[in-house]
Structure 1
Amino acid sequence: MEPNPVLAYGRWIAETPAEWPAAALEAAQKAFIDTIAVSVPGACDPAARLVFATVKDWGEGPSAAIGTGARLAAPWAALVNGTAAHALDFDDNFDPAKAHASAVLVPAILALAEQEGSSGMACLDAYVAGLQILGRVGQGVNPTHRNRGWHATATVGAIGAAAACARLLRLDERQAGHAISLATSMAAGFMSQFGTMAKPLHAGLAAKSGIVAAGLARSGLTAGLGTLDGVRGMNRLMVGADYEHLRDGLSHVEHGQTLRFETRHVGEPLLILSSGLKAKRFPNCGSAHRAQDGILELKQRHGFGPEDVEAVHVRAPVSHLDNLMYADPRDSAQGKFSLEYGVALCLVTADCRLDDFSDEAVMREEIRAFYPLIHRHPVDKAEGEFPTEIEIRLKDGRTFETAVAMPKGSIAAPFGMEEYWAKYDGCVAGLLGPGESERLRETLAQLPRLASMAALMAVLAEPFASQSE
């Protein structure tokens, strides 16, 4: 047993056999399908385009920048593709870390795999291993880290990406440990960037940092061993000076978030199976999804229309409502972080789709008219302690209520493969031609058996994003 988490995680990355349960590899493959699907329209987002415009002249390389026709050095491709993966906020969530894990891990792994000529199975292996370390680090600093305003996708994500890249490069335990440590020096990102272009950039920065950290470690660059739990480690600097008081006073633990870095049983349980990933049903902040699921459930069950509604009351954990900070959104980015917009969409249109998140769509008067009817009621409890409660009062005096503990797409209500492919089809429609869409789909289905990622990335390398101009 190694009590130092940097060394423990480095050893686990280096020494754990690539003998994962079939269910873990299937879950990893679904994460690749989902992330690549949302990256196709994400590559057309202004944030992703601006990132590409910035880095495109910094040097050619082996790795495709999705939808641009350009190939860049692996870190820059990961920066562009990570931004694209998170640009629409349609990518998955991972509860142990309170982070968007796949939007960081998949772009980092793909860019590095193109550089190294890695197989599809090696990429799935790197994903499972990287996700485990991403989760373990997240459990060591959360829930306080994120509750105090750090964007864990950017901070914990960079460390998880370094672990995945160290695994893909087959670093030894000391090198892998140094990669993890180096990534802590690149871990940054504030939740105050939500609703701006900087928010999806965080995923790109974390993906890029993972490749850089692992590459530096492979070259022999060393780093400190106290960067996670030392006197000036991540726990005390990015949780707070009261870290030990908070850790010792925990009375309720969710998602394994104990404010302790697990070093005795790093790989048990395997988090990709025990916690799972939350695939998104809607392309907006996941904190709104329980309420949106509840609205659609009540509409389907009771058959009322938007014209019948007098008031909507949403009781939800304060952390969820804090994420949904725009009560009167004015553009598409703010609309993604608005409870009012998500709920009103489900009331009026009985859906929430990609095309609902343009600046023009967010300002539709028929949607905005419902904002005064939607009332927030923050509850000072964690999400596992309190489900989102939705109460709808109709003009005829009837009242309907429901409570949603876990959204559609979570481990409690998981997507089947057919739902992943339906989401894929919706994402790529109009951007990939029928032939390209089918070829990419077939390649993704064969991911565990690919000798290299060349066939997969060949379709994504084409400049399909220009078709949306």
Structure 2
Amino acid sequence: MPQHPVPNPVAAYGRWIAETPDAWPETALEAAGNAFIDIVSVMIPGAAEPVTQRVFETAAPWGAGPSTAIGQGVSIAPPWAALVNGVAAHALDFDDNFDPAKAHATAVLAPAIMALAESESASGHDCLDAYIVGLQILGRVGQGVNPVHRNRGWHATATVGAVGAAAACARLLKLDADKAANAVSMATSMAGGFMSQFGTMTKPLHAGLAAKAGVMAASLARAGVDAGRETLDGKNGMNRLMVGPDYEALRDNLTHVEHGQTLRFETENIGEPLLILSSGLKVKRFPNCGSAHRAMDGVLELKRRHGFSPDDVKAVHVHAPATHLNNLMYVNPEDGLQAKFSLEYGVAVALVTGNATLGDFTDENALRAEIRDFFPRIHRHPVDKAEGEFPTELVVELEDGRSFRTAVRMPVGSLAAPFTPDQYWAKLEGCADGLLTADRIGALRDALAQLGELPLLARLMEPIRGPFRSIRSE
């Protein structure tokens, strides 16, 4: 019996981007709207961060345009707005995670979509539609190269994110199948980023670069620039180059699959299931690396349940997947950025303060003695299992000899424990405090609540155009 050839993934994704009807379930549109609430919230303080200011000051002279650089009070060309706003979205590591791609999805997709939507006079619904499409392709490409791609040190936000952003922008521009495929393919030539940049300003720059890549790839494809069809799955495709020369052996010997990561590009049922609903996004409760959140949630739950104080704690044992602990590489962080990638710091802050806020991750507060004194009491126990196979287990030992244990499979903000509407709006209020006036916060909240009905994105962008009334000084 003749074998049917597997569809080329670049071509298949181009067709799906161009031809899938804009007829999403209401639950998908609601989830996309929530993603915009969350990312706009974190962009506001992110715009005031030094890394964003420096990127803006560098990019602004490259060209004025129709697209808002959030918080800066000016508009610039779409690629540069996507770059600046992408950095703002990821600067504080307070943005969501997306498991199928092992990436920060919305920090790349939303800045690209918003920058292009302003220049194209697109509606709010157009943005939600582009987001759902971009997220699906971002997830499908991520499933084709992960988990190995991420585990071997590639920052998937930068690599897979660039391809997802190109798909979202191709949808927004209403490109035909061939041009949408060219955009997806072209984005692989703009994809790059190493996890060795974690704890530096270049990590949030990765999100901005991927958002810019999406705008440029789709715009160039619209102009007629073509691209190859073997850039995802070919002799020199993304899978073989950005997974490794052992790609086929790894793919063919998989024994455990999480988040649909089969090391194969899904081409037959690209839109089923719809990943925004089946996988969802992990919205962040705390402004640090999500790999610490299960441990922080567990510590807070044990503290709430049993009523012990920080002074009562003799030791905290954290048993977690090695991949999570590898992301948390700073055992003794020296500044706020490194503190975001420290298990010790995150757990200690949760124990001492009962929370973890933006103010806990400044350079000054990262050096607080009352937090650092806890570090020797926090013990790592890496487990060589995937996160879906092994929950984060915590054992808190008290000075009086008692001990308490819990296990956390999914953090607050995931599908297992989703944010309520009140939590989304509270995050917006907390992020905007000190930067936006009360009337601007109200206008922004109204625009976000009605995003799908906005005829133009300008109403959403106006309250966050800036310049902001103050800059955080911490």
The TM-score with structure 2 as length reference comes to: 0.98
Mapping for residues 134-153 of structure 1, pairs under 5 Å: 134-153=138-157
| Shift of residue 468, structure 1, vs aligned partner | 3.4
Mapping for residues 153-302 of structure 1, pairs under 5 Å: 153-302=157-306
Describe the SS at the equivalent of 1:265.
coil
Q: 385, 388, 393: which is aligned to 2:392?
A: 388
| Shift of residue 22, structure 1, vs aligned partner | 0.3
User: 1:124, 1:467 → 2: CA distance?
Assistant: 30
The TM-score with structure 1 as length reference comes to: 0.99
1:19 paired residue number: 23
Q: Report the residue type matching 1:394 in the other structure.
A: L
| Shift of residue 460, structure 1, vs aligned partner | 1.3
- Residues 244 and 403 (structure 1), Cα distance of their counterparts in 2 relative to 1, 3 Å cut: same
Describe the SS at the equivalent of 2:441.
helix
Describe the SS at the equivalent of 2:381.
strand
Q: Report the residue type matching 2:107 in the other structure.
A: A
Q: How many matched pairs? A: 469
Describe the SS at the equivalent of 2:389.
coil
Q: Report the residue type matching 1:242 in the other structure.
A: D
Would you say the 8 A contact 1:315–1:379 is kept in 2? yes
Task: List 4+ stretches of structure 1 deviating above 2 A.
Answer: 465-469
| Shift of residue 416, structure 1, vs aligned partner | 1.3
Matched, 1:93 2:97: yes
Specify every segment of 5 or more residues in structure 2 that has no aligned partner in the other structure, as ranges: none
User: 1:70, 1:146 → 2: CA distance?
Assistant: 36
2:71 paired residue number: 67
Percent identity between matched residues is 69
| Shift of residue 467, structure 1, vs aligned partner | 3.8
Q: Report the residue type matching 1:165 in the other structure.
A: C
Would you say the 8 A contact 1:2–1:8 is kept in 2? no
2:426 paired residue number: 422
User: 2:52, 2:46 → 1: CA distance?
Assistant: 7
Q: Report the residue type matching 2:447 in the other structure.
A: T
Q: 385, 401, 404: which is aligned to 1:400?
A: 404
Q: Report the residue type matching 2:305 in the other structure.
A: R
Q: 357, 369, 373: which is aligned to 1:369?
A: 373
| Shift of residue 297, structure 1, vs aligned partner | 0.3
Q: Report the residue type matching 1:250 in the other structure.
A: L
Matched, 1:54 2:54: no
Would you say the 8 A contact 1:136–1:262 is kept in 2? yes
1:346 paired residue number: 350
2:110 paired residue number: 106
Task: Write out per-residue CA displacement over residues 64-111 of structure 1, whole angstroms, 9 at most, x where no aligned residue.
Answer: 000001110000000000000000000000000000000000000000
Describe the SS at the equivalent of 2:66.
strand
Would you say the 8 A contact 2:280–2:414 is kept in 1? yes
User: 1:79, 1:346 → 2: CA distance?
Assistant: 33
Would you say the 8 A contact 2:123–2:455 is kept in 1? yes
| Shift of residue 459, structure 1, vs aligned partner | 1.3
Q: Report the residue type matching 2:427 in the other structure.
A: K
Q: Report the residue type matching 2:238 in the other structure.
A: M
Q: Report the residue type matching 1:358 in the other structure.
A: T
| Shift of residue 2, structure 1, vs aligned partner | 6.5
Task: Write out per-residue CA displacement over residues 301-327 of structure 1, whole angstroms, 9 at most, x where no aligned residue.
Answer: 000000000011000000000000000
RMSD: 0.8
User: 1:277, 1:400 → 2: CA distance?
Assistant: 30
User: 2:37, 2:298 → 1: CA distance?
Assistant: 27
User: 1:172, 1:135 → 2: CA distance?
Assistant: 21
Would you say the 8 A contact 2:48–2:471 is kept in 1? no
